[in-house]
Structure formats: structure tokens, C-alpha cells
Structure 1
Amino acid sequence: MEAPTFRELAVQALSSVERGYDLLAPKFDATPFRTPEPFLAATRDALREHGPFERGLDVCTGTGAGLGVLAEVTAEPPTGVDFSAGMLEQAGVAHPEADLVRADARALPFVAAYDLAVSFGALGHFLPEERLPLFAGIHRALRPGGIFALPAAQGPRPTRPAYWMLTGFDLAMRVRNAVWRPKFVMYYRTHPRPALLRDLTEVGFVAGTTPMPGVGELIVARKKG
């Protein structure tokens, strides 16, 4: 697959989130933004310690990287939800067995339908004040005792160049969103672990973490049963 050109990435970055991903979808899997395979494999292995699972939901599924993980740890075909029609089209090609639903993750149309929900690499598209409605919708979509698993990569230390690259990216996006409409919400450093665990607990989860050696940790939030 051919990677997107600089011009294509620039057009995407100046669009809304939905339109931007519609444009990027055909080449998304050739970009560094796709969740890496080692991260997906580590998540799959960690999830097996908490199963078995019957039905799985991939929130903000994109082109469906998380659907492959769910297919390996759940008994039934997975469901993917996203608000980009272009990304869902690509997910359907890669995972024809999956049930794909176009919806806003902040208003999920499911009630007690799943016993596992996951989300990969999408949290940066939500502002801190949107975490509670996002988590509340996932909580509502799960059956009693169900798990929301949120893989979290190891954050770089301030002594590493990657730390300042991510910080600089967030600053550039804030400037972009201050002077350009429509906004494109994507930030890397707005969801610290303590805030995530606090908000998961507030909506009714019992939250903790499972180590994923070499890549990070899996935040495991269980709905009280």
C-alpha cells in the first residue's frame, strides 16, 4: 500500500476529524498512525488472562486493527463502531465477518450487548471533558461483569526526543485549532493515567492495570455485576 503524500496529509489535517479520516482511510494502514502489530499482540495476550469473552466491541475501530484482536479472543464475530464512513469501508474489506456500525463514540447505541470493549489509539480525539460521556456510553454497552480494556503505551520520559516531539505536536494542534475551523481534535498528552482511572471509576467501573511488558500496560475496567 502506498503511503499518503505530504499534500494529502496536509489536506487531512486542515479538515474536520470525520472528513480528514474519510480522506485518509484508503492509505491509513500505510501510515505510522496505525496501531503497531506488537502492541496488538500484547493486548491480545493480556486479554486472554481476563476471558473468556462472548461478544466484543471495538470503539473507534478505524480500519479495524482492533477487530483482529477481538476475533481471536471472543466467541462471536466482533462489532466495530466509528463515525468515519471511509474508515468503516476499509474495515469492512479487512474484516468482512465483523458487524460495522457508524456512530459517534460519545453516544453509543448499545445497551448491555457486549462483555468486552476495546479501543486502540483513539483517546486523543476526545477532549478531557468528553471522557465521562465516552466512558459512560461504553459502560452502558457492556453487560454486568463486562470489561473495557484500554491499551496504553509507555510514555517517553522528558529526557527522550519523543517526549518533546509529542509535546510539540500538541502545541501545534492547539495553535491550529485556535486559528482554523473546523477543528481537528488530536492530542497526545491530555489523558494522564490518574485522570483516566478516576473517570472510569466515576462512571461505575472498577479499574486497574495489567502490565504488557515491552509496550506499556492494559487499563482494565470491569463493570460491576
Structure 2
Amino acid sequence: MFSPQGPSLRELAIQALSSVERGYDLLAPKFDYTPFRTPESILDAAADALRPLGPFARGMDVCCGTGAGMRVLQPLCKGRITGVDFSTGMLAQARSAHPDAEWVRADVLALPFAEAFDLAVSFGALGHLLPAERPALFAGVYRALRPGGLFAFPIGAPPPITSGWYWALLGFDLTMRVRNAVWRPRFVMYYRTYPLHAVRNDLTAAGFIVTTVPLAALGRREDGSPRCRLVLARRTGTP
């Protein structure tokens, strides 16, 4: 649909009627040719915002997919970098693109690490978690970080109600809710379930000290506020 190398409408339909894991296994070989991959502009803006806070030792990409986040971790981390995902297909693509990184298949709601990393990043993952699942993710990332470690991820400002994007995202989420109400297995993918205030509250409850920085390179809304912010969640304790 999106390019000659991208998935067909039929392939997308099969993916959408599968579970999240199976759907991404199917989509993995063509995922990087879809709009679902995190854009280079967001990766570059996040890297620019994190650079003054580094360098870091070991880094982890949570819900790494095909490994786009390695573009951020590689120049910032002096030690080993690790990607974590539950899709075997996505990890295979990531391993092929970045053979020098470490790749771990795991449920991100039960991360198998303890005080192993100094920086954790995530791109485009929160929409695949229900709000009730966020505390488990954030608690696992907190455990995986060393004291003083940083968890960073971008979060976009909601489009105004007058914007076509507002209604497009609302329509998509409503369609997914109907699909999940009448079809099993569920495919969890929503765009409006992780507002900044709710994410901040969950991070704080997990023990993080939370700040944000605007990603100015991604532009501003009509009211002057940034279109996108980088959430910086610092694990408490002395590095």
C-alpha cells in the first residue's frame, strides 16, 4: 500500500485480524516500508536532546521492533546496546540490520533485567499497551536501570479538535475498540490512550523523577506549544 516494497492491503488485513505478536511477525519483513516505523526526524530529535545528558554506558531499546532505536543508542552509549521485543519476526529483522547489538525476546511487562542499563529508550510502543498495563512496563524499566539511569521516549501533543488528525485518530481508536470487542485475539494499537499527564503519573508512581524537554525540531502548534516532547524519567538514587 505505502510503497512497492510495503505490505499489500490484504497483508495488512491479515495482520490486523491476528494477535499483536503474530501480526508483527507477519509484518516484520515489510515493516520498515510502512508509516508505522518511527520517522528519522523523531529519532534524530530524540538523539539531539539526549546527547548533552550523556555519554551513557549500556543502553536498552524497549519494544525495539526492527531496531530503529539503535540509531539513537549507538552514538550515545559506550557499552553494549540491547533491543527487547516479543516478536520473533521483528527481532530477526533487527538482528540482520544491527548484528553487533544484543537482541532479547521477552515480554516487556516482565523485563528480565536488574540494574543492567544506564539509558533506556522506547519509540512508538505505548499505544500497544492498555493503560492498566503501563505500571508493569514502567516498574520493569525502573528495575532494569541502574540508580540514576534514564528512561526516555517521545510523546506527541494531541491534535486540536479542529484538526483532521484529531478525527482520524479518534476514528482509528474507535474502530480498534469495536474490532477488539467482537474479534479474538485482540490487537492492541491505540493512539489516544497515553496522554502526557497519565504517563507522568504512572512514571512517578513507579519511582521515577519526571521532566520533559520540547523537541523543537519537530515544530510547534498554533498556540506555540511543542508538537512533541521527550519524556525524561530518571531512576532515583546516586549513579
TM-score range (shorter-chain normalised) is: over 0.9
- Please say if 1:105 is aligned against 2:117: no
Corresponding residue to 1:41 among 15, 21, 44:
44
- Please say if 1:28 is aligned against 2:31: yes
Deviations 1:50-105 (Å, cap 9, x if unpaired)? 21201100000000000121001111231000000000000001111110000000
Structure 1 Cα separation of the partners of residues 32 and 80 of structure 2: 22
- Please say if 1:183 is aligned against 2:186: yes
Structure 2 Cα separation of the partners of residues 123 and 51 of structure 1: 24
SS of corresponding position for 2:124 = coil
- Residue in 2 aligned with 1:222? 234
SS of corresponding position for 1:118 = strand
Give the letter aligned to residue 66 of structure 1.
G
Post-superposition offset of 1:156: 1.6
- Please say if 1:125 is aligned against 2:128: yes
> Between Structure 1 and Structure 2, how many residues are aligned?
225
Give the letter aligned to residue 138 of structure 1.
V
- Please say if 1:172 is aligned against 2:175: yes
Q: Percent identity?
A: 64
Residue ranges of structure 2 left out of the alignment (5+ in a row): 219-227
Post-superposition offset of 1:172: 0.1
Residue ranges of structure 1 left out of the alignment (5+ in a row): none
Give the letter aligned to residue 17 of structure 2.
L
- Please say if 1:62 is aligned against 2:74: no
Structure 2 Cα separation of the partners of residues 34 and 151 of structure 1: 14
Structure 1 Cα separation of the partners of residues 40 and 205 of structure 2: 32
* TM-score (structure 1 length as normaliser): 0.98
- Alignment RMSD (CA, Å): 0.9
* TM-score (structure 2 length as normaliser): 0.93
| Structure 1 runs, 4 residues or longer, greater than 6 Å off | none
Give the letter aligned to residue 235 of structure 2.
K
Structure 2 Cα separation of the partners of residues 55 and 158 of structure 1: 41
Deviations 1:104-153 (Å, cap 9, x if unpaired)? 00000000000000000010000000010110000000000000001112
